[in-house]
Chain A
Amino acid sequence: MAKKTSRKIVALSSAAILAVYGAGYLRTQSVAGQLAQTVALTTGLSDPAQATAYHDGTYSGTGRGPFGDVSVSLTLRGHRIVDVVITADTTSYSEKWIEGLPGEVKARQSARVDVVSGATFSTAAFQQAVLNALALARA
């Protein structure tokens, strides 16, 4: 590697951050829309006023993690989450770590679950799966 390129990537990245941050971003429709979606998905159906945005039906979602994926099937009826099933779990860890999470989703009517210590990647993958399924229910 030529000497003149030494430390170039860090330097360029610092300059990039300054330039892009300085330029800022417009809260365009698409960005605002994505943020609104994110907030809505985390709130889920826990707010009855928001819950009407979710259509009844059964939806699948998959969350990907560093050690495998978790897939769920969510059933919505009457604008409530009535069933949550883990349909696939390719994580290297035993499913017992996350088997309590579907119950939490039903109780809270959202993807907000307590992180399982020692199973943060599986929990995150499960949460992402639920969020993805909810996104389809809102579409």
Chain B
Amino acid sequence: MDTLVSITLVGTLDKQRRDEAAERALGWFAYVESVCTRFDENSELRRLCTRPREQTPVSPLLGEALRLALAMAEITDGAFDPTLGGALAARGYDRDYRTGRRSAASTEGAEDTSYRDVQLDITRSTVRLARSLSLDLGAVVKGLALDLAARELEDLDLDGILVEAGGDLIARGVNGAGKPWRVGVRSPRPANAGGFVLEGIDEAVCTSGDYARRDAHGGCHLLDGRTRRPATAAVSATVIAPTAAAADLLATTAMVLGPIDGITLLCDQGVEGVLTAPSLRTYTTRGFARYESRTSL
């Protein structure tokens, strides 16, 4: 989590309840990060990676995040792979970009680890890593944190909520004008035209793009699990889904798969979305057009 979180509440609520709920919601972001970050050697995720070949108990959060990531890896035969932490660190993504501090992120398993090396027993909540490797759950955790934060706000009996973190968001109900939420999605290449305005958003919208956090060679920070090289088949992907965890993970994975296989994946997973190819041509799922607004923001 590298950016500001913004919470917008629409409705009537006394100040104390509002502040307490906002603090609890933000607390989920802090908690998810403290458990799942690759950049802090004290996180539960990093401590798990220090125990290869051992059956290790994991918290519900780490277990569920891994379960999601592993499911995505299985569905895509490893195009998405959560064991690329070593490969990412080797490409220079080894520092927490908020503080700039290098955290001696592990480069273990840079060469040939795969999701198959992670054995999760969800019923017993244990994980066994078959070998030394470095997990990276960056594709899951921001979305999951958004879902948990939004869940925290749902009991407040409000007319609408909007939780946003670094361009990914969950919108529910209505905005301050009493209308369904409208969301702008920027073009991945701001010098060009393009971008969308989406209307009637009552769910999660997550965008993955190649324009943030490039490595020293100009490569995108998303790696293709099959080649361990930067994804180049798409420049951005936006997914609309009932949960942000799903939208986040599917947008990331669709980026790796590229326009054709990416759209197929989104259709198969029952979500709507749009992918932009390097040519800037866009590919959409069939139901995406229903969200597109005719008027600008």
Residues of A within 8 A of B (CB): 1, 5-10, 12-17, 19-23, 25, 27-28, 30-31, 34-35, 38, 61-67, 92-93, 121, 124, 127-128, 131-132, 135-136
Contact = CB atoms under 8 A, between A and B. Distances in A.
Interface stretch (B126-134, B243-251, B273-281): B243-251
A66 B26 contact: no
A14 B213 contact: no
Contacts of B148: 17, 20-21
B215 interface: no
B120 to A, nearest CB: 12
B186 interface: yes
Interface string B250-268: 1000000000000011001
A62 B186 contact: no
Interface residues of B, number: 55
A8 B241 CA distance: 12
Interface of B: 2-4, 23, 26-28, 30-31, 33-34, 42, 59-61, 64-65, 67-68, 71-72, 74-75, 97-100, 143-144, 147-148, 151-152, 166-167, 186, 190-191, 209, 211-213, 241-243, 245-246, 249-250, 264-265, 268-271
Among B23, B59, B243, residue most surrounded by chain A Cβ atoms (within 10 Å): B243
29 contacts: A6-B268, A6-B270, A8-B75, A9-B250, A13-B68, A13-B144, A16-B144, A17-B243, A20-B60, A21-B148, A21-B152, A25-B31, A27-B27, A34-B33, A35-B26, A61-B100, A62-B100, A65-B3, A65-B212, A66-B186, A93-B190, A121-B186, A124-B4, A127-B4, A128-B4, A131-B4, A132-B99, A132-B100, A135-B99
A25 B144 CA distance: 14
Contact of A10 (B26, B144, B166, B269): B269
Contacts of A127: 4
A62 to B, nearest CB: 7
Given A1-B265, A6-B269, A17-B148, A23 B75 contact: no
Contact of A64 (B64, B67, B213, B268): B213
Given A38-B30, A124-B3, A12 B71 contact: yes
B99 A136 contact: yes
A17 B245 contact: yes
Contacts of A93: 190
A17 B245 CA distance: 9
Given A7-B270, A31-B30, 4 more contacts: A12-B71, A13-B249, A17-B147, A35-B26
Given A10-B269, A16-B67, A17-B144, A64 B212 contact: yes
B192 to A, nearest CB: 11
